[in-house]
Amino acid sequence: MKNHTTRALLLMFVACFGVMSLQAQQFPVRATGMMNPFQDHPAAAGVLGCMDLHMGYRNQWSGLEGAPQTAFANLHGQKMAQGDDFHGFGGRVESDEAGAWGYTSINFAYAYNLRLTNGSRLAMGLSAGLFQHRLDFSMLDMPDDQFGDDPAVVGGRNQFIAPLLDAGVWFYDRTKYAGLTIQNVTQPSMEKISQYGKLRRHVVLTAGSEVELDGQWMFLPSGQVRMAAGVPVSAEIMAMARYDDLISFGLGYRAQSALLISAQVKIFEYLSVGYAYESNVSPLSGAAPRTHEFVIGINGCAGRPSGRAIPCPAYN
The 10s digit of each residue's pLDDT in 239-297 is 999 998 899 999 999 988 899 999 999 998 889 999 999 998 877 666 667 899 999 99
- The pTM of this model reads 0.81
Distance from C-alpha of 98 to C-alpha of 82, rounded to nearest angstrom: 46
pLDDT tens-place string over residues 25-34: 456 788 888 8
* Average predicted confidence (pLDDT) for the chain: 81
Report d(CA 224, CA 222) in Å as an integer.
Answer: 7
Nearest to 284 by CA among 261, 258, 304: 258
Question: With contact defined as beta carbons under 8 Å apart, do 141 and 133 qualify?
Answer: no
Is 233 a residue whose pLDDT tops 50?
yes
Closest by CA position to 175, among listed 121, 227, 135: 121
Domains detected in the chain? 2-299 (2.40.160.40)
% of the chain exceeding 70 in pLDDT: 77
User: Lowest-pLDDT range, 52-56, 145-149, 268-272?
Assistant: 145-149
Tell me 64's DSSP state.
Answer: S
Closest listed residue to residue 79, CA positions, set 43, 45, 29, 118: 45
Comparing C-alpha atoms, which of 41, 185, 30 is closest to residue 113?
41
